[in-house]
Amino acid sequence: MNLDEVIETFELMDEWEDRYRYIIDLGRSLPEFDPADQTEENRVHGCSSKVWLVYHKEGDNIIFKGDSDAHIVRGLVAIILMIFSNKTAAEIEETDATAILTELGLSQHLSPMRTNGLFSMVERIKAIGRSFN
């Protein structure tokens, strides 16, 4: 599954309830997250749910893994990872996540707390990217 497929699937769905279910399904597709990585150091603050993010480099690309204790947020983590994972630090910095999330309609259909959490994840990823420049 990639971001273009998510956007295409969203366009086919008329109801936001269907999109929410789809987001939850995306979260179920995330790779297993090591419970040992569910530490305070890996926690993304600013999210109402618990969200953890880890990364490593493969060549020039940064690979992210994430998890959450809430189903819908786990799906949002999956979308964020589709946007940013396996990119170079420069590509991460250049990526306009706000435009992508607006295209998906997430900014308009999530609670303010979830939206803040989403952008906390984006900022954390961008900070990680900047650390490699």
Q: Catalytic positions, please? A: 47
DSSP characters for 60-114?
TEEEEEEEESSHHHHHHHHHHHHHHTTEEHHHHHH--HHHHHHHHTHHHHS-HHH
**128 φ, ψ to 5°?**
-65, -45
